[in-house]
């Protein structure tokens, strides 16, 4: 049989699912940190079939990569499995971030056609103490091995927090035994005061925290740490080459610093307006290991790839095809803007942000005055 060629990625979408329900209670979870645990499994406004049509290759300009993550456990409820199927049917690539324990969901996904599974990627979050407490370690590793056998790509990632400090050697031993490799590490941040300074969720010094993570030899961790609190000033193509999409409402924003957006599910005959944000509005790229590794800033980190940060190549966590696709950059399928267009967008964004910030300060000032008068 002739090998099927994989289509280059046109755009990347970080897809947010406002499910706050979870079968785990991890202390470092940002939902728990923010006290937002409502055990809610939202019913999407539109069917998976409708969303699939709204996100067709024709409307988006080509094959895209969708990374789906819930605020709680992504695979609770049935709609995400159905949505993954519709996106794969359209010819897209799909990642699902999961705690790896919803076995019935993995069984359903593994029944998809082989051509679909070759474009399927899982990010397994290894919540060790919860898995151990609930006696689900065996189930977790069984599901990891299951998706690999069925031709999916994956990574196993561990949030580095003080919670795991007494168990790090245990974690290394069991991952080497079950996976033949150590997990990639995720730098965990405090979910408070994010508008001023980003801090690691640890009682250790920043240097001690980083040194602790270095023993895992994790490119993902090293890259994330490198970009922590690193303000980006280059021209950014987020908004054109990538976006942040709310799957419940259909609101598409350019990136996390975009307070506007467009509703793209309501009328799928309306073209989507893709235009780069140009000027970053965040303290640092809020998900650099996705956006920057895929190349939304083309001249930055040209040697770093999405796959290179995640795959353990000596143990084939990625299939050969997915490793090739996720080692490419978005510039392969997109054209850069002229210098004039980039300058116009960059400074227009700056002016809008300054104007909006000024209005907000005036409103807050008026509220303060009115409270004082009362």
- pLDDT number for residue 360: 53
> Are 25 and 130 contacting, i.e. CB atoms less than 8 angstroms apart?
yes
- pLDDT number for residue 191: 66
- pLDDT number for residue 201: 87
The per-residue DSSP string of 217-284 comes to: --HHHHHHHHHTT----S-B-BTTTEEEEETTT-EEESSTT-S--EE-SS-TTSPP-----BS--SSS
Residue 70 φ then ψ, to 5°? -90, 160
Spatial distance between the Cα atoms of 361 and 349, rounded to a whole number of angstroms: 18
If the chain, 374 residues long, is cut into consecutive pieces of 10 residues, what is the mean pLDDT of each piece?
75 90 77 50 88 98 97 88 98 97 97 97 97 97 98 97 94 97 92 70 92 96 92 95 96 92 97 94 87 97 97 96 97 96 90 68 45 45
- pLDDT number for residue 357: 59
pTM to 2 decimal places: 0.91
> Are 252 and 274 contacting, i.e. CB atoms less than 8 angstroms apart?
no
CATH number of 11-332: 3.20.20
- pLDDT number for residue 36: 46
């Amino acid at each position: 049989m002739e090998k099927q060629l994989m289509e280059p990625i046109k755009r990347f979408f970080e897809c947010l699912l406002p499910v706050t329900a979870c079968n785990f209670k991890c202390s470092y979870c940002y939902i728990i940190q923010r006290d937002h645990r409502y055990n809610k499994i939202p019913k999407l406004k539109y069917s998976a079939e409708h969303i699939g049509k709204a996100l067709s290759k024709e409307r988006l300009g080509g094959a895209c990569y969708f990374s789906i993550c819930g605020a709680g456990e992504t695979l609770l409820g049935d709609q995400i499995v159905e949505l993954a199927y519709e996106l794969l049917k359209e010819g897209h690539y799909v990642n699902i971030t999961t705690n790896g324990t919803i076995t019935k969901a993995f069984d359903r996904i593994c029944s998809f056609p082989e051509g679909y599974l070759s474009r399927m990627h899982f990010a397994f979050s290894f919540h060790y103490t919860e898995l151990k407490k609930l006696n689900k370690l065996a189930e977790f590793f069984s599901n990891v091995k299951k998706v690999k056998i069925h031709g999916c790509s994956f990574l196993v990632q561990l949030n580095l927090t003080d919670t795991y400090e007494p168990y790090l050697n245990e974690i290394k031993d069991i991952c080497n035994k079950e996976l033949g490799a150590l997990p990639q590490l995720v730098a965990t941040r405090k979910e408070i005061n994010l508008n001023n300074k980003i801090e690691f969720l640890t009682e250790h010094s920043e240097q001690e925290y980083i040194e602790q993570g270095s023993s895992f030899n994790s490119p993902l961790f090293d890259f994330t740490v490198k970009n922590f609190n690193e303000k980006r000033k280059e021209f950014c193509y987020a908004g054109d080459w990538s976006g942040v999409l709310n799957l419940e409402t259909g609101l598409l924003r350019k990136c996390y610093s975009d307070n506007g957006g467009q509703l793209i599910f309501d009328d799928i005959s309306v073209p989507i307006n893709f235009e780069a944000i140009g000027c970053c509005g965040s303290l640092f790229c809020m998900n650099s290991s996705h956006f920057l590794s895929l190349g939304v800033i083309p001249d930055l980190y040209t040697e770093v790839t999405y796959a290179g940060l995640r795959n353990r190549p000596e143990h084939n966590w990625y299939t050969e095809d997915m490793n090739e696709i996720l080692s490419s950059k978005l510039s392969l399928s997109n054209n850069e803007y002229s210098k004039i267009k980039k300058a116009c967008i960059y400074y227009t964004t700056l002016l809008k942000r300054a104007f909006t910030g000024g209005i907000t300060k005036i409103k807050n000032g008026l509220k303060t005055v009115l409270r004082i008068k009362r």
